[in-house]
Structure 1
């Protein structure tokens, strides 16, 4: 798989702010991957094929997309694309915006009109610059700019920000799961971290997200496996264990039930 070439790297915000912003040009493909943070990319020029959670579309000037830690994506470059990339943890923005990632049920990507592009581009440029030498002021400055930009995207997608329907600990637990679904995840650990008994935690999780914990984890793993099988040359066995399954027979059975075909029939 090809690597990524960065022709231009103009701005970086101190990692202590838990956010970074980089303007760069990608000239080669980016293989499928996930992040332990949220990500926004604003396309300034060029053309590429973008695959997110198995859904594929064309990237070009004016496209903006937002990814959560549970998303996985890859990029196939057609023409070198110049973009501004913003990466941040959930602490950077208000909790409501984090909840919206899970409440909207939509893939957060849109294409701006020329007028919208001209209006939003300066905001991205401001985010990608360190405004002052005061760390606390920088955090507030960047947070406000990010939230203004997010509200613009939400308006474009007709998303109405919602108040959380459960305690923050439940949302923190799903963020943890989204980052670590390929590893072994303990219900004891999750419930203890949230401050609830296992039974009550399971009840709250199901009530909040409409699915049981194990089903949620397995769906993340199966979606990741499907993406690997359709976009890489990795073997079915490698896909099984790379996706977090410890048993090949269990993986095959669950995969076939979910996608109505065995993993070998889905391979690239």
Structure 2
């Protein structure tokens, strides 16, 4: 999984599934995590937090995080993704701060929070006001019980964190491994090895993956032309965009948009 950009019309998307290894990534949503069975490791910045059944965690927008799974246990986790724009009263805090410890252990999680998470995970077509009320309940719990720190302090000395953040801020530009290495004050060979070991791909493929994730969100949620989307994502030409897109999705961007319109 690379960087994820979502713009769901409902402001909510959810998954209830078996967790897998997920490399460092970020997105603009608030991510709520609740372990219903087994265990999972949540990494935020350089820290790794163990989560058991009944534990709750929250990741604020644009905070780099990852998941690891060890052992052979039967694990199952609820993931909720909430659009921060739904919560204007918390918007500034969500953008500037992050929980010092993102995990709350089972014994300290309020039953109302658990009920709200399960309701939001199972709902398919609910009342928007009710959805927002349950989500507000979760955030109110977070802001009244979890100490916050400045978001800039999370992982600032970690190379993986800094590399992911750099790409997130600059993928629309003509970036290179050499330029990135220079600006992060590390060897390009160190960076190259880090991408291969952490993301199992080279720098170019990683950056193109970030661009594709952004492009897909634009294809699904805007009426902008494919040419403009291509250029806005940082691809040097529509030919390159079409080739990279088809390599991943097995169809062209135009065909993808038509399919999404048909499915709505």
Q: Structure 1-normalised TM-score?
A: 0.53
Give the equivalent residue in structure 1 for 2:222.
none
Give the equivalent residue in structure 1 for 2:32.
40
* Residue pair 2:58, 2:103 contacting (<8 A) in 1 also: no
- Of 83, 87, 98, 2:81 maps to 87
The Cα of 1:34 is off from its aligned counterpart by: 2.2
Structure-1 separation of matches of 2:167 and 2:144: 40
The Cα of 1:120 is off from its aligned counterpart by: 2.6
Other structure's SS at 2:89 match: helix
Other structure's SS at 1:128 match: helix
The Cα of 1:40 is off from its aligned counterpart by: 1.2
* Residue pair 1:46, 1:81 contacting (<8 A) in 2 also: yes
* Residue pair 2:34, 2:79 contacting (<8 A) in 1 also: yes
Q: How many residues align?
A: 183
User: Tell me, which stretches of 5 or more residues in structure 2 are unaligned?
Assistant: 2-7, 198-264
User: Tell me, which stretches of 5 or more residues in structure 1 are unaligned?
Assistant: 2-14, 161-208, 211-215, 230-237
The Cα of 1:225 is off from its aligned counterpart by: 5.5
The Cα of 1:100 is off from its aligned counterpart by: 1.4
- Of 4, 8, 11, 1:18 maps to 11
In 2 relative to 1, CA 44–150 (structure 1 residues): closer, same or farther, beyond 3 Å? same
The Cα of 1:148 is off from its aligned counterpart by: 0.9
* Residue pair 2:99, 2:147 contacting (<8 A) in 1 also: no
- Of 129, 138, 141, 1:149 maps to 138
* Residue pair 2:61, 2:84 contacting (<8 A) in 1 also: no
* Residue pair 1:256, 1:262 contacting (<8 A) in 2 also: no
Give the equivalent residue in structure 2 for 1:73.
65
| 2:55 equivalent to 1:63 | yes
Structure-1 separation of matches of 2:97 and 2:31: 17
In 2 relative to 1, CA 127–108 (structure 1 residues): closer, same or farther, beyond 3 Å? farther
In 2 relative to 1, CA 143–129 (structure 1 residues): closer, same or farther, beyond 3 Å? same
* Residue pair 1:20, 1:88 contacting (<8 A) in 2 also: yes
In 2 relative to 1, CA 251–131 (structure 1 residues): closer, same or farther, beyond 3 Å? closer
Structure-1 separation of matches of 2:165 and 2:123: 41
Other structure's SS at 1:71 match: coil
Other structure's SS at 2:38 match: strand
| 2:152 equivalent to 1:226 | no
Structure-2 separation of matches of 1:228 and 1:29: 20
Counterparts of 1:46-195 in structure 2 under 5 Å? 46-78=38-70, 79-92=73-86, 94-107=87-100, 109-114=102-107, 116=109, 118-130=111-123, 138-158=127-147
Q: Deviations over 1:178-229 (max 9, x none)?
A: xxxxxxxxxxxxxxxxxxxxxxxxxxxxxxx99xxxxx8xx99x87852487
* Residue pair 1:41, 1:66 contacting (<8 A) in 2 also: yes
Q: Structure 2-normalised TM-score?
A: 0.54
